[in-house]
Amino acid sequence: MQQTMTEETSGGSPGRQSDPNKVDADGGGPARGKWANKWEFLLCMTGEIIGLGNVWRFPYLCYKNGGGVFLIPYFTFLFFGGIPIFFLEAALGQYTSEGAVTAWRKICPMFQGVGIASLIIVIYLNIYYIVVLAWALFYLFNSFQSPLPWSTCENWWNTDVCHDRAGIFTNPHLFHPDSNWTFLSNISSYDYLENTTDMMLNETFLMVKSPEEEFWTNRVLRMSDSMSLGKVHWDLALCLLLAWVICYFCIWKGIKSTGKVVYFTATFPYLMLLLLFFRGVTLPGAGEGLKFYLMPDFHRLADPDVWLDAGTQVFFSYAVCQGVLTSLGSYNKYNNNCYRDCVALCFVNSATSIFAGFVVFSVLGFMAHSLGVPVEDVAHSGESADQQTPPLYVKSVFFPPPGPGLAFIAYPKALSMLPGSSFWTVLFFLMILLLGLDTQFVCVESLATSITDLFPRQLRRRGAREILVLVIAVVCFLLGLPLITEGGIVLFQLIDSYGPSATSLLIIACFETIVVSWVYGRKRYCRCTTFLPVAVLHFIQIGFSHGCAGADRFYDNIEDMIGYRPFPVLKYCWLFITPLLCVLTMLYDLANTHSLMVYDYRPGTWASALASLLVLTPLICIPAFILITLCRNPQNMAVPSSELRQARPHKPVLTLGQHVVFAASRPPGGRDDKIAMEEPSAV
């Protein structure tokens, strides 16, 4: 279809390339800008979706869930859940040229709460995710020491149960089931050790800690028995402040600065990952590690937990339901081929995750070779009581569950075993810093974009953006200080587990697909009532009679943007497959919820209340804004904005054969869609 709208037209409406130096007709300040070129958009999206989860979560899930067979449920969820929602959000932002909240307001006013819910989840991410960068900076500064401070047990933070790698090779006889550990205070004789049960033996070995683990718990986190949230560690606070300063100056000028910074932050980690890969595969024993990584165990496909892990990994790694994709897509030109971009980005993200697994397991194989144990004994966590070798010290330290422990315990341990360990450690933590940095500042950019689009008259004026980003940085920095206290790790894991939780993301995903495929573009609401049950029932009745016209209309919009219709399966994913997949996954997750906390603590009332608050706060926004819109404007609560360009404005909403059941909705005031799109946005 020919493009009837020129890119040179000024203003804030979709399809036009806005000059940031021009002023909106409504006096709202500089108009919305656009990416300088396609590469800026692609690199920003790459920096957002490729982060720490690709390095420390995907490889762990692969080995945990049957090796290479994990790719089957992973790609199933990717094709029928991840890619459809990923493309929907990016295309929605490009079509509306609005951030996460106002995009949903334009599509369907009553469901702007979906955007608000995503905005709250982004706020959670901005508060706690940057703490990981503070830890990475702390490790990076300590990486210039020789020997590495976490490689020995001769530091002030080490305890009597610390045992380093040198002790393993110097005293290998101590690391067998029949070893003599009478020097430990709780073991009085060798005869007693011989007569202990396997469980008691495992508990004995659990008392032995590596220097890497003690550096993490006693030096970085400085955990105490009280787990107080009142004592802030000044060195970590300075690292957190430095991380926020770097983040601020990456995005303070908006996409003009963000688009330039990502050329470095999104590409340099790949260079580091490539160097670590070549170093890993050349180590002795690397082949055994890679074999363990890729060897499929098809029996695991019958385990529902494997499919649950695959689904949650796809949703987390693709940053869906967070509003970030919509905000980044909103800076695209109207005729950008977002469909091709999204397919390429999804391929790059999954390929990076798989490639990171080669880096992890090559080094893991080297560690197993150095210790003289099988790879599975190094990798598995050793829950089995009848397992005799090696002791739990060897198994539990090198590959802890996914999360900070893998990057700050297992990897430093592996790198300290390499020749020139300081050099490789600096490269690794620099990679961790950059991987997390572009994810962090893109999230802040998304938050600033969404707030700016909510208040364009006030925040699109010259200098307002810099102040807004500064306020976001200062507020999030202050809210993040409790996370770097003695008990901060408990608060960190609470937010990490229940803030952007799987339940919240799956519910938002259901609403997104349902709104676009079943609600968007239908005729205006025809019963004026503020009684919520009657309104909801009538809305459901109209929605089912409306059928899949919403998905068809959105497909028409996408065709108008890119010039052709995407793969038809995507539409049916939005209509049926993706919502059903999300509902089934959510129900199974809720029915099998387990504690996600790693560190032992007594969860009091405050922890349970905070977890509930973190989950309910974003979700309550969806019904709340439905009720607000119902009270304010019941006649047009589901009518899309007249500013949105419709490729086929006269297309009937619903037909039965040749008979028109519902005619097309006309914009308020009888304006033509094409003409309306040439007016500046007032949203």
Q: What domains does the chain contain, in order, with CATH numbers? A: 38-148+224-636 (1.10.4160), 165-207 (no CATH)
Mean pLDDT value of segment 337-360: 93
pLDDT band at 252 (very low <50, low <70, confident <90, very high): confident
pLDDT band at 487 (very low <50, low <70, confident <90, very high): confident
Closest CA to 93 of 30, 41, 21: 41
Mean pLDDT value of segment 613-617: 94
Most confident residue range from 69-83, 255-269, 637-651: 69-83
pLDDT at residue 114 in the model: 96
pLDDT at residue 350 in the model: 94
Strand partners, 654: 662
pLDDT at residue 207 in the model: 57
- If one counts every other C-beta atom within 10 angstroms of the C-beta of residue 495, the result is 21
* pLDDT of 513 higher than 50: yes
| Residue found by looking up tokens 């992890």 in the block | 360
The dihedrals phi and psi of 672, each to the nearest 5 degrees, come to -80, 145
Concatenated DSSP letters of 168-223? HHH-GGGSSTT---TTSTT---HHHHHHS-HHHHHHHHHT-B-HHHHIIIIIIS--
Cβ contacts of residue 636 below 8 Å, gap of 6+?
A: 109, 524, 525, 668
Q: How far apart are CA 559 and CA 644, in angstroms?
A: 14
Question: Reduced to 3 states, what is the DSSP secondary structure of residue 662?
Answer: strand
pLDDT at residue 671 in the model: 42
- The kind and range of the H/E element at 661 are strand 659-662
Q: How far apart are CA 618 and CA 140, in angstroms?
A: 35
Residue 600 burial (CB < 10 Å; 0-12/13-18/19+)? exposed
Radius of gyration of the chain (CA): 27
Joined tokens for residue 625: 């804004």
Average pLDDT taken over every residue of the chain = 78
pLDDT at residue 100 in the model: 93
The string of pLDDT tens digits covering residues 190-241 is 343 344 444 444 444 445 778 888 899 899 988 877 777 878 999 999 999 9
Task: Among 156-170, 324-338, 355-369, 516-530, name the one with the lowest average pLDDT.
Answer: 516-530
Joined tokens for residue 26: 């409504």
Task: Among 162-176, 328-342, 353-367, 413-427, name the one with the lowest average pLDDT.
Answer: 162-176
Task: Among 81-85, 551-555, 595-599, name the one with the lowest average pLDDT.
Answer: 595-599
Strand partners, 83: none
Higher per-residue pLDDT: 185 or 460: 460
pLDDT at residue 462 in the model: 86
Q: How far apart are CA 89 and CA 326, in angstroms?
A: 5
* pLDDT of 397 higher than 70: no
| Residue found by looking up tokens 């999804």 in the block | 346
The pLDDT > 70 percentage for the chain reads 73
Joined tokens for residue 264: 């470095």
| Residue found by looking up tokens 């990486």 in the block | 143
pLDDT band at 509 (very low <50, low <70, confident <90, very high): very high
pLDDT at residue 366 in the model: 84
pLDDT at residue 537 in the model: 53
Q: How far apart are CA 553 and CA 472, in angstroms?
A: 37
pLDDT at residue 292 in the model: 82
pLDDT at residue 257 in the model: 85
DSSP single-letter state for residue 301: G
| 359 contacts 279 by C-beta, under 8 angstroms | no
CB under 8 Å, gap of 24 or more: what pairs does 33-39 form? 33/254, 33/255, 33/256, 33/331, 34/255, 34/331, 34/332, 34/333, 35/255, 35/259, 35/331, 35/332, 35/333, 36/256, 36/259, 38/336, 38/341, 39/263
pLDDT band at 378 (very low <50, low <70, confident <90, very high): low
Q: How far apart are CA 534 and CA 117, in angstroms?
A: 25
The pLDDT > 90 percentage for the chain reads 42
Higher per-residue pLDDT: 624 or 29: 624
Task: Among 148-162, 463-477, 571-585, 616-630, name the one with the lowest average pLDDT.
Answer: 148-162
